[in-house]
A and B are shown apart, each in its own frame.
Chain A
């Protein structure tokens, strides 16, 4: 029940924030108006969605055996992180105030969920498909590379080393019913909270001529999410740096992949048409 309550709460808050901000950021002028436009856009995006589905399918299989592989071959990274950065997170927490704790807890749970969902909806409503394509590809790259790192590296966060404290769970114990469903406490390197938030902020800046106001929302929230992971004692500074690096790699990778996809899809269509006409030709010769 506790999980259900938390989930309902998060869904309600994110839906409310989405409702308000979609009106303010997207407006209604850019929504593709005709049916043909919609179909044309969908035709472009479908291969990306298939790619996303494929990636999710493969990774969900990997996730099942991931922990076993990880314990067999994984490298224990956190002793070295602890050695290098020491008590930085504990120092950061010396600036703790009730207001900051409330703010960063809300950012870590609600802000992050909102940040992830908003661009999916907003980019889907846009009159061009490029932002959505890049977003899908960047999500996939973040997720796949992140998962590979989680298998290769076993790392506990600062709160488990008692470097600082796990502020989120003492401030809001029920939140753990949700986060324990999504996270494992040995998966902290890199910070996916950071990498996905930074990815979204980067895409917001790159496509700023589409939704100028979104930049003003996405960038501050993304920075807050990065800080919150450390403030709440969940990630090391090194995880956050690695998360930022992952974001850069993912966005760069997404733009490269996208151009390959465009060529690939165009090529694919060409081969498909050739195949169809060849089949027709063959059928007509058989009939005769």
Chain B
């Protein structure tokens, strides 16, 4: 922060003001420009932004990226406030309150580009969760993201490529990279850790017992996330791809495996392409974890509920933010028997099958959770509910929990994966363990000591790369790595100036060298991303990573930052520098 000579005057001035700022920003909401005006400093206010991320305890890579960004923004004459928040507070700030300037965080990208629609389309910007929290409003992108829903094959590919090109130009977020999922595992009791990508919902379903071990053992995982011992509500937005709730507790009609979306709780389906309908047959004898039968009624309820969590009782509809991508694909749903439903899909069926990947909700539990808590923010009881004893239909059922310490799940024997003769049993079953315990540990290092002592079998696949050497030092513990769809990115709140200026956002994007971040901060355990799609298959060739970002290349060379070049980009965006190097409006 004090290595670069140019903004020195600005910094000392700020330091002198800091005492006053501490007192005053409580009143002005952290707005430095107001303080400066109040003290009669400059007539043109310095551009100031607040940058929020999580503390190093949570993910030191995010903190490290942010620290670099803060230093470089300061060097480029922008007053920055470096704010750390625990993950749930950051989530609330960005996804619920939308009260942020810039944050550096992660989001779970989908393999299908249709996820870009709720994430970046302007109509979603007044809603909750991962529905355009950025306030991005671009008519071109809006139409392209609508069009791709009704297309297939090459035509859809071209539309998606245009949308990605538009997003790359506008930079509503600066996609940085997708990290490699890293886990530490012991192979003494279980094996098959590499069969499925570690952050895929099916990861633990791919396990087998080690030779001579019974299937009635307990699989013991360590996690850093306390929230999984507190709130077990699958409607809450997440910042991560590894979500126990949607992976093991709440099951959908269909899941993606072996290359496409395939039946899961649905035993089979038939597709009527001309009518845009999918007729599904559920497995016989499905039950919820509390023993109640799972029927076509529950399926119909789920999709009505996801499209309006107030079930008609609110002033307006309150769709479930997290599954908006799925629920908006459903036009209508008809129950045709205990086990049969017909879903009529909006858009092309190629995209429409994604609607089947939303988790099912038991009608008898959630029909009483439909009150509206706050009509203005759109909060309903369904999202604010802790759901401390979840009733789902997944292969594992909730057994017990100790707040801030542990969560125990146990095998749901009625699930098709655990029933001999079913297709799921043939492909995945039966489960290699009869219970699964997550134990909260204070740090990854502390968790690793449990593994080496034989008190745990694996960590959740969210280890930082700084743990790699420690894992390799343990003779009884192995490293498991796989690519992920977790997108590390810089998010802008475009409702605020100067962030609504695309030139400013592009200039910010150029402050970071994605390739250097991958090498120096992630030790190569990541892939640089020029677009928000983690899988390269949808990305047009001119936007592919070519050793540098093709759209917003780094202002500098080989990781060495060029302040003057960076300043030029901010000037090109229409801002000016004062004599003492402050960037002003």
Contacts and interface: CB of A to CB of B under 8 A. Distances in A.
A180 B89 CA distance: 19
Given A160-B55, A162-B67, A173 B83 contact: no
B446 interface: yes
B1 interface: yes
Given A160-B84, A162-B63, A185 B55 contact: yes
Contact of A173 (B1, B2, B449): B449
B446 A2 contact: yes
Interface string B202-230: 00000000000000000000000000000
Given A77-B22, A166-B56, A177 B84 contact: no
B86 interface: yes
A186 B55 CA distance: 10
A79 B67 contact: no
Contacts of A41: none
B452 to A, nearest CB: 11
Given A161-B56, A176-B445, A84 B67 contact: no
B60 interface: yes
Question: How many residues of A sit at the interface, in one of the four size bands?
Answer: 20 to 34
Q: Which among B2, B60, B442, B443 has the highest number of chain A CB atoms within 10 Å? A: B442
B18 A160 contact: no
Contacts of A2: 446, 449-450, 453
B15 interface: yes
B94 to A, nearest CB: 15
A169 B86 contact: no
A27 interface: no
A174 B446 contact: yes
Interface string B83-104: 1101001000000000000000
Contact of A80 (B22, B442, B446): B22
Interface in B422-442: 442
- The dominant DSSP class at the A interface is helix
Nearest to B14: A83
B18 A83 contact: yes
Interface in A152-190: 156, 159-162, 166, 169-170, 173-174, 176-177, 179-180, 185-186
Contacts of A177: 442, 446
B334 to A, nearest CB: 46
B56 A162 contact: yes
Contacts of B443: 169, 173, 176, 180
Nearest to B447: A173
Contacts, number: 77
B55 A180 contact: no
B545 interface: no
Contacts of A159: 56-57
Interface in B1-23: 1-2, 14-15, 18, 21-22
Contacts of B1: 86-87
Contacts of B56: 159-162, 166
Contacts of A78: 83-84
A1 interface: yes
A86 B71 CA distance: 11
B26 interface: yes
B63 A160 contact: yes
Contact of B2 (A71, A80, A86): A86
A76 interface: yes
B83 A186 contact: no
A83 B79 CA distance: 10
B83 A76 contact: yes
A261 interface: no
B445 A173 contact: yes
B82 A169 contact: no
A82 interface: yes
Interface string A258-286: 00000000000000000000000000000
B446 A83 contact: no
A46 B27 CA distance: 45
Contacts of A180: 442-443
B470 to A, nearest CB: 9
Given A80-B18, A86-B2, A162-B60, A174 B84 contact: no
A162 B464 CA distance: 14
Contact of B446 (A76, A79, A173, A185): A173
Interface string A1-37: 1100000000000000000000000000000000000
B86 to A, nearest CB: 7
Contacts of B60: 162
Nearest to A174: B449
A1 B449 CA distance: 11
A79 B448 contact: no
A87 B82 CA distance: 13
A83 B81 contact: yes
Contacts of A156: 55, 84
B455 interface: yes
A103 interface: no
Nearest to A165: B56
B22 A162 contact: no
B57 A185 contact: yes
A287 B442 CA distance: 69
Nearest to A185: B57
A98 to B, nearest CB: 17
Contacts of B450: 2
A75 interface: yes
Interface in B25-74: 26, 30, 50, 55-57, 60, 63-64, 67
A75 B26 contact: yes
Contacts of B453: 1-2
Nearest to B466: A170
A11 B115 CA distance: 55
Contacts of B81: 79, 83
A159 B56 CA distance: 7
A2 B15 CA distance: 44
Contacts of B83: 76, 78-79
A84 to B, nearest CB: 5
B42 to A, nearest CB: 18
Interface in A65-119: 71, 75-80, 82-84, 86-87
Contact of A169 (B2, B26, B55, B445): B445
A229 B24 CA distance: 30
Interface string B280-312: 000000000000000000000000000000000
Q: What 5 A-B pairs are tightest by C-beta distance, nearest first?
A: A173-B445, A160-B55, A180-B442, A176-B442, A79-B81
8 contacts: A75-B22, A82-B82, A86-B2, A156-B55, A160-B57, A174-B449, A176-B445, A177-B446
Given A79-B50, A160-B55, 8 more contacts: A75-B26, A78-B84, A87-B2, A162-B63, A173-B445, A174-B449, A176-B446, A180-B442
